[in-house]
Amino acid sequence: MRWQLPAPRCLFFALSKFLHHLMAHYIDYHDHLSVLHVAPTQPPGQRQMQQIAHIYIDGRFVAPHGTELFDLHDPTTGDVFGQVRLGDVHDARAAIAAAKRAFPAWSRSSKADRIDLLRRLHQAMDARKDALRDAIILEYGAPIARATWMAGHAASSFLDAAHALQGFDLTQPIGTAEVIMEPVGVVGLITPWNSNAGFICNKLAYALAAGCTAVIKPSEMSAAQTHVVLEALHAAGAPAGLFNIVNGRGDVVGAEITENPDIAKISFTGSTAVGKAIVRAAADTLKRVTLELGGKSPTIILDDADFAKAMPIALEAGFANSGQACVAGTRILIPASRFDEAIAAVRNALKTIVAGNPRDPATTIGPMVSQAQYDRVQRYIRLGIEAGATLVAGGEGHPDGLGGYFVKPTIFANVTNDMRISREEIFGPVLCLLTYEDEAEAISIANDTPYGLQAYVISASVDRAAAVAKRIEAGRVVINGAPHDPAAPFGGFKQSGIGRDYGVFGLQAYLEPKALLGAQSA
């Protein structure tokens, strides 16, 4: 078949259709503000329904081509508080095209220009962090202290990336070569619902620092948070097309981003099952991938530890983010010789674990994000009981006086590492206590898992804890409850992922080395 030039009449119709499409779908930012009602701080009775009707392409808020409406739920009650209109494959392609157009100029931008933009993005996010905190509480149900940290963390990602870029040589002499670190290209960034704003900002910050442009597919269940982030990022006045955000389903927008030949790299945070599907789909175009996946993290409490101090640290690690955390320390390993003492310390530490209204500062555990997540946690609690584990706290059903998607903070004792509750990621506040005879067995149980994201060691001796930490197969090992460090690499061994986020390692993940041989003068 011969390829023919389109007839002038067809060309005219195609052009007018295109213009019509543009006029129908592209709207002013001011129009966008007037149609949107975001009122996350109002009490439920007086709340207006939120309608999130726009995505962000080429520096503008646009109505998506996709028409599907997706309900947004308040997890404390289960009520619908709004709807998001989802994008489709056309929207994903438009976003990819915009990022591709913006790439040549941004990839050649100077370090100083990138750092300047990152600082502006930080300021813009910082100015909206209270609104983001409120959206996190409303849509995700994170307790206020956690939600406040999450909003601040999203904002500070941009400064962390600026700092990593500042100290990084984008041109390095290696052997006889001059090695230039070039941005990998247009990147696809896909985020989960349990830390949506944080991962949008973190991934975008390092991608921009490297000189990449981006298409972001946030979790469809986090549209209210995404919207606040988007308004802030827009306010920073970045060149059009540098970042584009398309709300949509994973198997529609996510799949298009994963397969599209104009995307050079995927940075994905989410479940191990979807991570594997992404690797398969990305193989045809040999995309680079960074995957931050699930975990079943061990907390080893060594036999010299003071349990009165150790157990609150262990429970905090296990119940972090209401248990909906990839890094949650859900397998607590205790010395068999001190079992009774450990149970008493658990009961004592549980006094500070409070499930309740996320807006109450005393609350440490909020609801699960969705009915599906509530059902999943209930299923695992039943599995634990059926397997013969002993309930120390919690169990099936809602906590007293709470409805919505709240579950009871649950701890099982007498768990063996072959039980499903000890092997599979539950993603809720359900912890397992396992006993060990000696240090070697503790390390062996800790490593007996397909995952390797994070681990925790608690001991009276930092040196002893560090020696044990070195023998654990995990991307991060936290000693005695040390705080998160945004400069340290973060990512998983084994089926917890590929590659690293954060700091210099996170920056390098968006760079491709190019060796110029013969370029260096003698």
Can you give the binding site for ligand NAD, defined by CB under 6 A?
A: 190-195, 217, 219-220, 250-251, 254-255, 258, 269-271, 274, 277-278, 292-295, 326, 425, 427, 453, 492, 497
DSSP type of residue 79:
-
Looking up tokens 């007086």 gives 46
C-beta of 226 vs 459, nearer to ligand NAD: 226
C-beta of 255 vs 345, nearer to ligand NAD: 255
Residue among 475, 476, 452, 477 at smallest CA distance from 466: 477
Respond yes or no: is residue 326 known to be catalytic. yes
Taking the alpha carbons of 461, 464, 467, 473 in that order, is the dihedral positive or negative?
A: negative
Looking up tokens 């060691």 gives 457
Residue nearest to ligand NAD (CB): 250
C-beta of 226 vs 357, nearer to ligand NAD: 226
Q: How far apart are CB 351 and ligand NAD at their closest, in Å? A: 28
Q: How far apart are CB 459 and ligand NAD at their closest, in Å? A: 26
Distance CA 207, CA 356 (A): 38
Neighbours of 320 (CB within 10 A): 19
C-beta of 183 vs 492, nearer to ligand NAD: 492
The token pair that represents 280 in the structure block? 């398969």
Distance CA 428, CA 323 (A): 4
C-beta of 327 vs 433, nearer to ligand NAD: 327
Q: How far apart are CB 327 and ligand NAD at their closest, in Å? A: 7
C-beta of 106 vs 268, nearer to ligand NAD: 268
Task: Out of 212, 292, 425, 432, pick the active-site residue.
Answer: 292
DSSP type of residue 252:
I
Q: How far apart are CB 509 and ligand NAD at their closest, in Å? A: 13
Neighbours of 166 (CB within 10 A): 13
Residue among 509, 27, 14, 18 at smallest CA distance from 268: 509
Task: Out of 139, 326, 425, 432, pick the active-site residue.
Answer: 326
Virtual torsion, Cα 506, 256, 59, 160, nearest 10 deg? -10
Which three-class secondary structure state does DSSP give residue 501? strand
Q: How far apart are CB 246 and ligand NAD at their closest, in Å? A: 11
C-beta of 275 vs 312, nearer to ligand NAD: 275
Q: How far apart are CB 254 and ligand NAD at their closest, in Å? A: 2
Distance CA 448, CA 69 (A): 43
C-beta of 117 vs 274, nearer to ligand NAD: 274
Distance CA 70, CA 64 (A): 13
Distance CA 214, CA 389 (A): 47
Q: How far apart are CB 494 and ligand NAD at their closest, in Å? A: 12
Please list the residues that pair with 300 across neighbouring strands: 333, 457
In the sheet with 410-413, reading across from the earlier edge strand, the strands are: 390-393, 410-413, 430-436, 331-335, 298-301, 454-458, 476-479
Q: How far apart are CB 34 and ligand NAD at their closest, in Å? A: 29
Looking up tokens 């197969």 gives 473
Q: Is 408 left (phi over 0), alpha (psi -120 to 50) or beta?
A: beta
Give the catalytic positions in this structure: 292, 326
